[in-house]
Amino acid sequence: MVEHEYTKEIVCPHCGHEFSDSWEYDEESGEIECYECGLKFNYSRNVSVDYSTWFECPDVGKEHDWGEWSYREVDTQVLIEELVEQVEDFYMRICKTCEKNEFMSLADLINSSNRRNDVKQKEK
């Protein structure tokens, strides 16, 4: 007798039979009888939820159309409301539609670029 957790299908803990029609059991949990060995066992459905996030451009109701990152020195006349910590150098980009500014320190820009490159490598 073997217990199974987080499998894609219901698996009988007595004989190991995999129920290819698990989706038909619409209850969150219950007791069922195995088609293969005839023994009863309990099951429960585990549901996973994932989230995605993004910015929406208020002028057009979709993602911002960001321009390229550009280098700025600290004495620039741009208001830096989003930049909380004091940095000597930073980079800025502007949405081509609504002209919202986004700021990032050089270190954060490098880390962000490295994370995107890691994701692209994993996708290949």
Task: Report pLDDT digits (tens) over 21-58.
Answer: 888 888 889 999 999 999 999 999 988 888 887 667 77
Question: Domain residue spans in the chain?
Answer: 10-44, 70-123
Residues in contact with 22: Cβ distance below 8 Å, sequence separation at least 6, in sequence order? 8, 9, 10
Residue type, 45: R
Residue type, 124: K
Task: Report pLDDT digits (tens) over 50-65.
Answer: 888 766 777 677 778 8
